[in-house]
Amino acid sequence: MTEILSTGPAVGLRTHWCGELRASDIGATVSLCGWVENRREHGEQLAFIDLRDRTGITQCVVAKAHDLRSEYVLRITGTVQARFEGATNDKLDTGEIELQDCTVEVLSTSEPAPFPIHERTEVDETIRLRHRYLDLRRARLQKNLQVRTIVNAAIRRTFIDNGFVEVETPMLIASTPEGARDFVVPSRLHPGSFYALPQSPQLYKQLCMVGGVDRYFQIARCLRDEDLRADRQFEFTQLDMECSFVGQEEVLDFVTQSVRAAVSDITGEDIGDVPRMTWEEAMERYGSDKPDTRFGMELVELTEVFADTEANVFKAPCVKGIRLEGGAELTRKQIDGLVDRAKLWGAKGLAWMRVVAGERQAPALEGGVAKFLSETESAATITALDAAPGDMVFLVADERPVARHVLGLLRVDLGKPPMDEGSLEFLWVTDFPMFDDELGPDGRPQAMHHPFTMPNAEDLEAGLIESDPTKVRSVAYDLVCNGWELGSGSVRIHRSDVQQRVFDALGIAQEEAQEKFGFLLDAFRFGPPPHAGFAYGIDRLVALLAGETNIREVIAFPKTQKGADPLTDAPSELEPRVLEELGLRVLPRLD
């Protein structure tokens, strides 16, 4: 358990920390405080206590330790002495010394812990969460909380140094119908009315821009009532920023600076300039708007190859493929599993072929749908995919979005390295579409980011919003790392004529816009500056930097996948009188 933060002064009941003493301290009389990590008895005269605090472990020599059990809290006062020759322990930072002539004070006792505090065995996560206060004693979480502290500090330092002002925005806000499902809070003073908890401080930070704050940032708690995942909790923390009189380039630079500082403070490495890719390119090459660029297996365009095909399975607007190196070994059962999964993901089917050595050892396709391909198609497929004997190739023929999506998921499924493997590959994905490629139930386009996102200037000029809205690009950008979406942002609309055109495209009438975002539109009547911003998930960034594949490991008190807290048993029912005061009645369950 090595401290990565500076420990600060040892004051109060302690004169030193348990990980601190070295040979240079020999002779000093010191007091240490901590928990009993381990006890080794050697009869009536001699015993060893390993005393642990968050900085490490010190061995203390005592005469009798029979009543000093695991996890008892002790204050031990003694003299620092060199260990006997051959009795040093190079696994401990304090292994050259030990405490002798010890006086032990029992500050509190402990029942046996429900799971080992040492980390030689994995423990079921539910049990860890039920006793999170014990889990927090373990080195892993101690380290992760410290990584988090350092990351927060690096971010704060970067933005403050760049003239940003930290503004706290409300947690109890008006519900807006767009976006994720809101968590709602009933109002006691206005029975029947509700606050929402913020999905993000989006509207408030734009109000700050109108307010002349000019450069805003906040380490903000955000809440979204959507299904939980390894990288998603109900409650999460974002670095939220917004900046006036700048565009995309300046925002990307500020954000990169902050991430660069955070990474550097943890790993010592410089991420340098973050490469960029347009959304269109990401979708074409990786089938994802958050591509994991740590590995290849890129999607290959085959539409032209099958332009005039006789094979019905390939008669589609788009044909794309990927190659799995060495994949020819897959069993029929494994392949069937992949085909089933592709169908669950929305494909009509998944075509597969083994690459074998044909005439004169040239690669040839065999099995699966190979018999339906013409010689030309077969040769062109092999060339395009750069396939070699022993490989397997997978093809999807479908609408372009489906082919990209399914192969993108298949690529990750077959090739993704563990989240904590290799280096961090940051990537900016730019030029997101303004609207979803599918029209909404009302036949209108749907905003992909949010309705205040600035459309691409050329597309705006060309009138694409009115003529072909799904082709309109926006000035919106995401930051991606190792296949995780870290965050997103955009240049915002500050001109009412542009805003009107977007609302028109979305089919949002004047009254509706006023009802949904009236306060923002009102504010924008009073001189809104051009502005742009960004927000990224600190939980995710910290997880990446801590080598964790799950953000629960960097959150002190997280919830389970069903949104429960095994420690407090939240969520829980309310007393009837509480409901009454709030003007609420709970309906019987519909089963």
Partner RNA sequence: GGUCCCGUGGUGCAGUUUGGAGUGCACGCCGGCCUGUCAAGCCGGAGGUCGCGGGUUCAAAUCCCGUCGGGACCGCCA
* Residue ranges in 178-237 that form contacts with RNA under rule CB under 7 A: 178-181, 199-200, 202, 224, 226-232
Least Å distance, CB 541 to RNA, is 16
Mask 159-178, x = binds RNA (CB under 7 A)? -----------------x-x
CA distances from 293 to 80, 118, 263, 427, 539 (A): 52, 36, 18, 8, 21
CA dihedral sign of residues 129, 131, 133, 136: negative
225-229: long-range contacts at Cβ-Cβ below 8 A with a sequence spacing of 24 or more?
A: 225/180, 225/181, 225/182, 225/183, 226/180, 226/181, 227/561, 228/559, 228/560, 228/561, 228/562, 228/563, 229/561
Closer by beta carbon to RNA, 262 or else 448: 448
Q: Which is nearer to RNA, 305 or 491 (CB)?
A: 491
Interaction residues for RNA, span 10-39 (CB under 7 A): 38
Q: Which of 25, 28, 31, 41 binds RNA (CB under 7 A)?
A: 41
Q: Rounded to 5 degrees, what angle do the CA atoms 361, 365, 369 make?
A: 170
Rounded to a whole number of angstroms, the minimum distance from the CB of residue 192 to RNA is 25
Q: Which of 165, 184, 344, 556 binds RNA (CB under 7 A)?
A: 344
Nearer to RNA, 180 or 457 (CB): 180
The CA-CA-CA angle for residues 212, 214, 219, to 5°, reads 115
Among 8, 124, 461, 575, binds RNA (CB under 7 A): 124
**Count of C-beta atoms within a 10 Å radius of residue 244:** 20
By the rule CB under 7 A, 122 interacts with RNA: yes
Q: Is 565 helix (H, G, I), strand (E, B) or coil?
A: strand
Options 562, 577, 585, 589; binder of RNA; rule CB under 7 A? 562
**Chain-centre distance of CA 27, in angstroms?**
49
Closest approach of RNA to the CB of residue 393, in Å? 22
CA atoms within 13 A on the CB side of 411: 30
Sole binder of RNA in the list 4, 46, 106, 509 (CB under 7 A): 46
In the region spanning residues 475 to 534, those forming contacts with RNA, defined by CB under 7 A, are none
- From the list 21-29, 108-116, 377-385, 571-579, the region that binds RNA by CB under 7 A is 108-116
CB of 185 to RNA, least distance (A): 18
Rounded Cα distance, 394 and 273, in Å: 34
Least CB distance to RNA at residue 224 (A)? 5
- Min dist CB 502 to RNA, Å, is 12
Specify whether the CB–CB gap between 36 and 68 falls below 8 A: yes
- Min dist CB 511 to RNA, Å, is 19
Exactly one of 175, 550, 574, 584 binds RNA (CB under 7 A); that residue is 550
Which residues in the 66-95 window bind RNA by CB under 7 A? Answer: 66, 69-70, 83-84, 86-89, 91-92, 95
Q: By the 8 A CB rule, do 232 and 226 touch?
A: yes
Total number of residues that touch RNA (CB under 7 A): 75
Of 413-442, which residues contact RNA (CB under 7 A)? 436
Query: Taking the complex as a whole, how short is the minimal distance between the CB of residue 516 and RNA, in angstroms?
Result: 10
Residue 540's identity, in one-letter code, is R
Residue spans of beta strands (DSSP E) within 54-168: 56-62, 73-82, 97-108, 165-166
Contact indicator for 281, 293 with CB cutoff of 8 Å: no
Tell me the torsion sign for CA atoms 304, 310, 315, 320.
negative
**Nearest distance, CB of residue 526 and RNA, angstroms:** 21
Which listed residue (1, 21, 51, 61) binds RNA by CB under 7 A? 61
Rounded to an integer, what distance in angstroms lies between the CA atom of residue 102 and that of residue 77? 5
Closest contact distance (angstroms) between CB of 311 and RNA is 27
Would you say the C-alpha torsion 276, 280, 281, 282 has a positive or negative sign? positive
Give the contact letters, 302-341, x = binds to RNA (CB under 7 A), - = no. Answer: ---------------------------------------x
Q: Are 544 and 480 in contact (CB under 8 A)?
A: no
Question: Can you tell me whether residue 37 is helix, strand or coil?
Answer: strand
**Choice from 75, 136, 560, 584 touching RNA (CB under 7 A):** 560
- The Cα–Cα gap between 489 and 309 comes to 43
Nearer to RNA, 226 or 250 (CB): 226
User: Do 183 and 197 touch, CB atoms closer than 8 A?
Assistant: yes
Minimum separation from the CB atom of position 66 to RNA (A): 7
Specify the residue, 377 or 553, whose C-beta has the smaller distance to RNA: 553
Which positions from 391 to 410 touch RNA by CB under 7 A, shown as an x/- string?
A: --------------x---x-
